[in-house]
Amino acid sequence: MIRRVLVLALFATGLAGLVAKRNLIKKAYALAIMNSAIVILFVLEGAAIGSEAPLLGGTGGLFVDPIPQALMLTAIVVGVCVSALALTLAYRLYRHFGTLDIDEIKGRIGHE
């Protein structure tokens, strides 16, 4: 139970950073924090089912479900790609507008 609360707190931290911050770099970090919280949640819930690795010749106990862990490897790769794309776009916006403040960028888009 305490693990779920900690994961929820981590996700809420990322969500708060995404909503409250105006800096694009901080928003990209907040997305990465949210992605990490989801990955941790899935791995924790997938591991809670059993206590043994699903290998040949097991002792017959409850096996850990490997599918959530395999899916989370894919989610980690996708999260890294999204973070790289977000940081690249933030860099390009900074080069063009000279600021990372999203409100200033929104204000300048209609005037150029």
All residue ranges of the chain with pLDDT < 50 are none
CA distance 46 to 52: 12
pLDDT value for 58:
62
Domains in the chain (CATH in brackets) are 2-53+63-109 (1.10.287.3510)
Cα–chain-centroid distance for residue 26? 13
Q: Please name the amino acid found at residue 68.
A: P
Q: Please name the amino acid found at residue 8.
A: L
CA distance 87 to 93: 10
Backbone angles phi, psi at 55, to 5 degrees: -110, 160
Question: Considering the entire predicted model, what is its pTM?
Answer: 0.83
Structure tokens, 63? 């096996």
54 Rama sector, left if φ>0, alpha if ψ -120 to 50, beta otherwise: beta
pLDDT value for 36:
95
pLDDT, tens digit, 9 for 90 and up, residues 59-86? 666 777 777 778 889 999 999 999 999 9
Q: Please name the amino acid found at residue 111.
A: H
